[in-house]
Amino acid sequence: MCLAVPGKILSITGDDLRSARVDFGGIIKEACLACVPEAEVGDYVIVHAGFAITRVEESEARRVFEYLESIGALADLEEPRR
Amino acid sequence: MKYVDEYRDPRAAEKFARAIRSLATRPWKIMEVCGGQTHAIVRFGIDRMLPEQISLIHGPGCPVCVTAQETVDQAIEIAANPEVIFCSFGDMLRVPGSNRDLLAVKASGGDVRIVYSPLDALAIARANPARQVVFFAVGFETTAPVNAMAVYQAKRQGLRNFSMLVSHVMVPPAIEAILSSRECGVDGFLAAGHVCTVMGLEEYRPIAAKYQVPILVTGFEPLDILQGIYMCVRQLEAGSARVENQYSRAVRANGNLEARRLIAEVFRVVPRKWRGIGEIDRSGLALSAAYAEFDAEGRFSFARQAAPKASECISGSILKGLKKPSECPAFGTRCTPEMPLGATMVSSEGACAAYFRYRQRSAASPAGASRHF
């Protein structure tokens, strides 16, 4: 139900109530941008039921891997001790 | 980056799983309160990658599953009205009411339409000015902004033939209800990422402090969930109980302020009955006074409601995390997605439906998640 999918904004229409064509891995759908005023063409937004709930923060997107690297080294060291 | 496949890398997942194995020294129970996460955990076999000390408990994270039977009965009654076009997310159609479901109404000639968005229901209302169009507004905080937007637009456009049957629920009061129950054995929570995308982190901090549980705001892809579990176990092993944000690419501390303003404009907080759990104070949203004219409960009259029927369905215990779907004697035999006894078998995000889909045939096959990725 809270399924929301990241997609790339292809184009934006409307000034008062902004709407976008969003590309979800090749499937293109319309999404309302009313709650993401900062989103621009080329940005990724997370869309739920035709409504963008946030812009994906690109600078945060690699955090998972950085975190894994930081603990990965530790885990690799600790594993043989077990 | 496309923000999907990158987070499904099986080697990285195995690294996380190994890190969790080397971290856990005691048994811990971690509950996710999001059907999307339940689905991903079962689909990708994340629970089977974990050491046996860590058990994942599936909480009441599916709005379809917790919508009260009385509300489903109201929906059925409205949908059967020949003047009405009844619009709903597809998941609600098979949820059993007292006597039948919305699909049965549709089969007997009711104009029941599955929509992708409430904004589509609004378009249907504009295109059919002579018919009453009713949208079944269920959902958690993630869905509240778009539902609020539909009503907000209906008012701006002066649409007299659009209304909503609202049964919105909220996550933090459900977490508190679980934590304050005597039978609760949950040590830590994965909070639903997209709910927090809208609402932010603040309302979870007092819960973490009061009940001394770590709460990890977590995303939906396998690596997100594994990292969330790792961070939760790390807190548990260290004896800390903080709110942490694993899903920082989508969740800011304050959530989405525009979306929160929209929710505050259109909705008010009310007590809400959760199917299988009972009434939880301040756990629901209903239309505010300024938007009351769009409330389908006021626009239609209803027959006296039937009391919920006794059933062998154990979804109440499933939703509270006390039982797993496979512990139900009806699971997969008398209860299947085609002939469900309860809502947890209906919704694709219900725990029973997820187990039925991904575990039914693979139960005997060797564990190991990487082949699913």
DSSP state at residue B209: H
Residue B139, token pair as written in the block: 């959902």
Residue B302 included in any domain: no
Domain residue limits at B352:
315-356
Statement: residue A81 has pLDDT above 60? no
How far apart are the C-alpha atoms of B70 and B76, rounded to whole Å?
10
B61 to B71, B229, B241, B347, B360: CA distances (angstroms) = 18, 17, 21, 11, 21
Q: Is residue B306 part of a domain?
A: no
Instruction: List pLDDT tens digits, range B105-117.
Output: 999 999 999 999 9
- Phi/psi of residue B43, each to 5°? -60, -45
By CB atoms closer than 10 A (0-12, 13-18, 19+), residue B365 is exposed
Across the strands, what pairs with B162?
Answer: B133
Do B273 and B345 belong together in one domain?
no
Beta strands B243-245; B215-218: pairing state: parallel
Residue that is written with structure tokens 């209302």 in the block: B125
Straight-line distance from the first to the last Cα atom of chain A, in angstroms, rounded to the nearest whole number: 41
Q: Are both B169 and B232 inside the same structural domain?
A: yes
pLDDT at B363 over 60: no
In this structure, the answer to whether residues B185 and B290 fall within a common structural domain is yes
Summarize pLDDT for B124-158 with one digit per residue, the tens: 999 999 999 999 999 999 999 999 999 999 999 99
Which residues of chain B are within 8 Å of residue A60 when distances are taken between CB atoms?
A: 248-249
Query: Which is nearest to B85 in space by CA: B138, B127, B146?
Result: B127
> 178-217 in B: which are within 8 Å (CB) of A?
192, 194-195, 197-198
Asked if B114 reaches chain A (Cβ–Cβ under 8 Å), the answer is no
pLDDT for residue A73: 57
What is the number of H-type helices and E-type strands within chain B?
16, 11
- The C-alpha of B203 sits at a distance from chain A's nearest C-alpha, in angstroms, of 19
- Two structure tokens written together for B33: 């309160």
Provide the pLDDT for residue B36.
Answer: 92
Top residue of B43, B117, B248 to mutate, by most chain A CBs within 10 Å, is B117
A30-39, B49-58, B321-330: least confident range? B321-330
> Same structural domain for residues B286 and B351?
no
Rounded mean pLDDT of B191-218?
98
Residue pair B94/B311 in contact (Cβ under 8 Å)? The answer is no
Reported confidence tier of residue B256, pLDDT bands at 50, 70, 90: very high
Q: Is the pLDDT of residue B228 over 90?
A: yes
pLDDT, residue B364, reads 40
Q: Please tell me if residue B53 touches chain A, with a CB cutoff of 8 Å.
A: no
pLDDT of B308: 65
- The total of structural domains in chain B comes to 2
Inter-chain touch B140–A60, beta carbons under 8 Å = no
Name the pairing type of β-strands B188-192 and B215-218: parallel
Domain A5-81 maps to which CATH number in 2.40.30.70, 2.40.50.140, 2.30.30.140, 3.40.1780.10? 2.30.30.140
pLDDT value at B211 more than 90: yes
| Domain spans in chain A, listed from the N-terminal domain onward | 5-81
- B3 neighbourhood in chain A, CB within 8 Å: 6, 44, 56, 61
Q: For residues B30 and B54, what is the distance between their CA atoms, to the nearest angstrom?
A: 7
Residue B247 CB contacts under 8 Å (≥ 6 apart), including other chains: B193, B196, B197, B217, B218, B219, B224, B228
Residue B67 has pLDDT above 80, yes or no: yes
Taking residue B244's Cβ as centre, other Cβ atoms within 10 Å add up to: 20
pLDDT band at A76 (very low <50, low <70, confident <90, very high): low
The mean per-residue pLDDT over the stretch B282-300 comes to: 97
Task: Give pLDDT, residue B170.
Answer: 97
Let me know whether B324 and B239 are in one domain.
no
Q: What is the mean pLDDT of residues B171-181?
A: 93
Joined tokens for residue B124: 């249907």
Summarised one tens digit per residue, pLDDT across range A18-38 is 999 999 999 999 999 999 999
Residues B156 and B185 in one domain: yes
- Measured distance CA(B305)–CA(B363) in Å, rounded: 41
The chain A residue lying nearest B225, using CA atoms, is A64
**Does residue B365 register a pLDDT over 70?**
no
- Asked if residue B222 lies in contact with residue B46, where contact means CB atoms within 8 angstroms, the answer is yes
Sequential DSSP letters for B284-334: EEEE-GGGGGGBHHHHS--PPPPPPPP-S--HHHHHTTSS-GGG-TTBTTT
Distance of CA A59 to the CA centre of its chain: 11
Least confident of B77-91, B147-161, B332-346: B332-346
Assigned domain for B349 exists: yes
Residue B96, pLDDT above cutoff 80: yes
Position B62 pLDDT exceeds 80: yes
Same domain, B339 and B256: no
Asked if residue B165 belongs to a domain, the reply is yes
Residue B350's CB is within 10 A of a number of other CB atoms, namely 32
How many Cα atoms sit within 13 Å of B301 on the Cβ side? 1
Q: What is the pLDDT of residue B346?
A: 86
**Of the partner residues A1, A5, A67, the one whose CB lies closest to the CB of residue B140:** A1
Q: Return the residue matching tokens 């994942």.
A: B56
Statement to judge: residues B142 and B249 lie in one domain: yes
To the nearest whole percent, how much of chain A has pLDDT over 90?
A: 74
Query: What's the rounded mean pLDDT across residues B344-355?
Result: 89
Same domain, B326 and B244: no
Contact A68 B16 (CB under 8 A): yes
